[in-house]
Structure 1
Amino acid sequence: MRTLVIETSTAACSVALIEAGAVIASAHEVVGRGHAERLIPMIAELPDGGRAGRILVDCGPGSFTGVRVGIAAARGLAFGWDAEVRGFASLPLVAAAAFTSRPDLSDLAVVLEGGHGEVFMQSFEANPLRATGPFASLRPEAALAALAGRPAFGNGIRHLAPLDPALDLTERLPDAAHAILLADDLTALPARPIYGRAPDAKPKALA
């Protein structure tokens, strides 16, 4: 079955078509906050307009707006194409790509921008890829302590670099094409947002 992958959880916007165990087309752009403007045109530029029997969408954690844009598009296309839609998380996506690029590593951490000066962080082991704990939204100083010297990958590493220049840090943005590296159990989430931190606006207490 052909699969369309949608990834919009960071400043990057990417899409990919996967079929018969191979990526047959993909696109990746750094758009900042322009996901709503670029996502559908990027899908339309894929073979057959990106039409697929299954859609995988990144549910976060990451950009609040970006994640919601991606999920809304996935749900809309799934309805129009009568396709199934499932989700995956941004952190294991980056971890899978990182382990592929650095096969010498047995463990690492993914650190993504979390907003308000915080980062989303989670640690992983390889072979098979698995998280060694839940993800957390942390201040950079707390993330540095939790890192415990492990190599770190992601777009949140810029917050850690000034704290310890000796760290093994690699800038990396999620890429939809790397979803091919994820095992089935990592691509079976419900297509709804994974929020990494509590909302800023608090509901008023009842009188």
Structure 2
Amino acid sequence: MILLAIDCAASLCAASVYDTEAGKEIGRSVRDLGKGHAEHLMAVIDEALAQAEKAYADLGRIAVSTGPGSFTGVRVGVSAARGFSLALKIPAVGVTTLEALALETRHALGPRPVFAALDAGRDEIHAALYDGHGAVLREPAVLTLGEAAAVASSGQTVLAGTAAQLVAGAADKPFEFGPMLATADIGTYARLAAAKAPGDRPKPVYLRAPDAKPQAGFVLPREEK
């Protein structure tokens, strides 16, 4: 099966074409954008498909990073994955940025528990805890720095993600570190998605409520009937 993985959850706009039977990536394209994922995503996908010498009709599955990450970037990626899934009549699979970072850490350091933590600003840490085989011990959640330090200190845990150094400093104990990045390599998303059974459509992992809220003063009164 040929799988297309896309990631727009952080500054990267990335696509990977992965041959699940051969267990290897056969095409990729990655642009470090910061913003503007919607304008570049289709070109990035086309570049990855061209490198793999594949067409959309060859795809058997779509994978997408579902966050936590950039609100807009995650929305762009998930919307694109759902669109491809419907148009091509193939399943779409979601992979969180936290589980992808945890897998990269295990590949680098061996089968160890991983606390993947992202600095979300406003004194918030978006984090999840995984065991040495990737099973979820604590689902993705919003934590204070103190709460994150307490979770990380509960065992022989490796830290990964942009908040790894912050958590280590708050815990005041030595840790090993995996990638201290906002997202994993696009190939990691492809490998994770290849091993997952298709289920519900991917949904964005928004751990924080959106900043934009309706202004009550401008709400029109409902007409009684």
Distance 2:88 2:185 in 1: 24
SS at match of 1:155: coil
Secondary structure at the counterpart of residue 160 of structure 1: helix
The answer on 1:8 being equivalent to 2:8 is yes
Point out the more displaced range, 194-203 or 84-93. 194-203
Separation of aligned partners in 2, 1:42 and 1:121: 29
What is the match of residue 191 of structure 1?
202
Structure number with bigger Rg: 2
Alpha-carbon deviation of 1:22? 1.9
Amino acid at match of 2:107: T
TM-superposed CA distance for 1:85, in Å, is 2.1
For 2:30, the aligned partner's letter is: H
**Residue 174, structure 1, aligned to residue 184, structure 2:** yes
CA distance in 2, matches of 1:116, 1:37: 29
Q: For 1:108-129, what per-residue CA distance to the aligned partner results, in whole angstroms no more than 9, with x for missing partners?
A: 11012324332211111123x2
Contact 2:3–2:190, Cα closer than 8 Å, also in 1: no
How far apart are the structure 1 equivalents of 2:48 and 2:14? 11
Using structure 2 for the length normalisation, give the TM-score: 0.77
What SS does the corresponding residue of 2:77 show, helix, strand or coil?
helix
Matched residue, 2:33: 31
User: What percentage of residue pairs aligned between the two structures are identical?
Assistant: 29
The question of 1:142 aligning with 2:144 is answered no
Q: Partners in 1 of 2:105 and 2:177 — Cα distance?
A: 11
Letter in 2 for 1:4: L
Alignment coverage as a number of residue pairs: 204
Q: Secondary structure at the match of 1:16?
A: strand
Q: Quick one: distance in 2 between partners of 1:119 and 1:23?
A: 32
Q: Give 2:69's aligned residue.
A: 62
CA-based RMSD of the aligned residues comes to 2.6
Equivalence map 1:98-113=2 (5 Å): 98-103=105-110, 105-113=111-119
- Structure 1: give runs of 5+ residues left out of the alignment: none
Return the match for 2:122 from 107, 116, 126: 116
Mapped contact 2:113–2:131 kept (Cα < 8 A)? yes
Task: Give TM-score scaled by structure 1 length.
Answer: 0.83
Structure 1, 35-44 or 197-206: larger mean CA deviation:
197-206
1:126 to 132, 138, 141: 132
Q: Where does the alignment leave 5 or more consecutive residues of structure 2 unmatched?
A: none
Which one of the candidate residues 145, 149, 152 is aligned to 2:159?
A: 152
Do the aligned partners of residues 63 and 85 (structure 1) sit closer, same or farther apart at CA in structure 2, a change above 3 Å counting? same
1:53 aligns with 2:63: no
Displacement of 1:79: 3.7
1:33 and 1:58 map into 2 onto residues whose CA distance is 16
What amino acid maps onto 1:2 in structure 2? I
- Distance in 2 separating the partners of 1:16 and 1:102: 24
Distance in 2 separating the partners of 1:159 and 1:14: 27
